Structure 1
Amino acid sequence: MTKEEQEQEQIDNELENSQTSDDNTAKSHGEILKQQICEGQEVYKKSPLSILVSSFTAGLEIGFSYLLLASLFFFLHGKVAEDTVFKMLSFVYPVGFIMVIVGQSLLFTEQTSLLTLPVLNKKQTISNLLKLWGLVIFGNLLGGWAMAALLVWIGPELHLFDAETISKIAVHVTDYSMWVILASAVLAGWLMGLLSWVISSSKDTISRIFIIYMITAVLSFAGLHHSIVGNVEVFAGLLVPSSLSIGDYAAFQAVALLGNAIGGAVFVALLKYRAFVTNIKYN
């Protein structure tokens, strides 16, 4: 057995021996890590069709956040200063995330760190990770496109919001340099990776809902770029008269996805995993 194999065996033994806490004790780092790796492995075991359907469902459901964003923006427009309105949207932004995450649909940004951990633990390959990411992203985007098309039609018909609202939100999301969007998306991916990690430490649904609401509200209030909600926001802007082009949409989407992936995979999965491994090596 090589030194690397011995180290991996030691890591796996430490994870296996991580104590399961009782209802009154907070979960340990090792216990959360073990749960995250196991959950990630379960996703890898699902059929491609199941993953595609689940991620498509998540893309649809996240659209309810956009429905509320646009409706609230339209309702408050002219009554409250526009910069204040954008901050107030953080009150309704988390709704779609609660539906998706509590409902166990596959959302790329919530799965990024989760799916990376089995690779770091040498249970999956980078190739498998990239294939799974691609499938989840495609399903999320497809669902988002469908929901955006529906809301662009039904919103004005129900007098919830108008084309100007759709255009303003889309321009607001994309009105930054690509470097700013990349850095913003890294922070957003970091937060979403932490969301997945912290949820694993909670023991009941109410706590999970509170955690989801708190973290995604912070994400919205800070104006950080989330690739899947942003997909609905910007794609909807393409479907109404606006200054956006398909090139603008493609550039935004590519940069936001890259930033979210870096944030979740590096700043959560890698750092959390290495903290556990380092603790083993030096104890």
Structure 2
Amino acid sequence: MKKTKTIIELKNVTKKFGTFTAIEDVSFSVEKGEIIGFVGVNGAGKTTTINAMLGFSVPTRGTISLFGERVVPSNAHLSHRHIGYAAGDMELPLHLTGQQYIDFVMSQFKGDHTDRLEALLKQFSPQLEKKIKTLSRGNKQKIALVAAFMTSPDIVVLDEPTSGLDPIMQDAFLELIRSEQKNGVTIFMSSHYLQEVAEVCTRVLLMKNGRIVEDLSAERLQRASGKLVRVVSKKAVIPPPHAKQATTTDNEHGVTTEFSYDGPIPQLQVWLAGLKSVTDLSVGDRTLEAEFRSLYDEGVEVK
């Protein structure tokens, strides 16, 4: 395994199934220690991208590199020694008990990971003594997460990792991600739960119609939790600098102006103080979900 800062890199990756193009010209890179959120609606191409990235499927064209080495079918298994993986719809061997599955996965890796395993079992409390086929979805997911992290991998790839988990276990998962980040582990996480993405991720890749349409940095993520402003006044107002998605509607109550704001708060305060003939005013927090929806609604162009 090469020592390199860029440990995941996709260049112009396209995957077709017959005449259907699932993903097209997907390019991005991930550096060591980043926590990447991978978001998009169902069918956007997230799982197809992950499968290609891990060597589970061969792209129609484009290149994929892990740890500085190009991934091809003949060597994909080599990088897997340094990667943990769990998916919300992961098919575990139903005839095994949870303990038997954990033992099997552990046997595929070198080293003694007993202490690490015990810590994860304490954190998630999966039911290991029962056959997997008898377990709830949440308990199956806990076993998959323990297996993904127990060998202290350099990269952990997660596809909808908290689906099926109750709120307490979701919190335990987020705490684990924060701990892994401190240890320099790189995590690539697909999720529909935008709040958990906003809490732990350092970057977010937004996929739409098989393409990466936005790469939101940590700074942009902070701005995504900016402000939503609504002003009702007798006359139309001109939104301040840094206002986005401004709309104006006119009815019997006056003119309503709404916009999102991601600029300096003092500038917004000055603008608000200068308003006249205002009959109603509200300023609320913007969320990553609002940013996500606005990008989809705008039909953002592919970069």
TM-score range, shorter chain: under 0.3
Q: TM-score, normalised by structure 2?
A: 0.22
Name the TM-score, length of structure 1 as normaliser.
0.23
- Comparing both chains, which one has the higher relative contact order based on Cα–Cα distances under 8 Å and sequence gaps of 6 or more? 1
Larger radius of gyration: 2
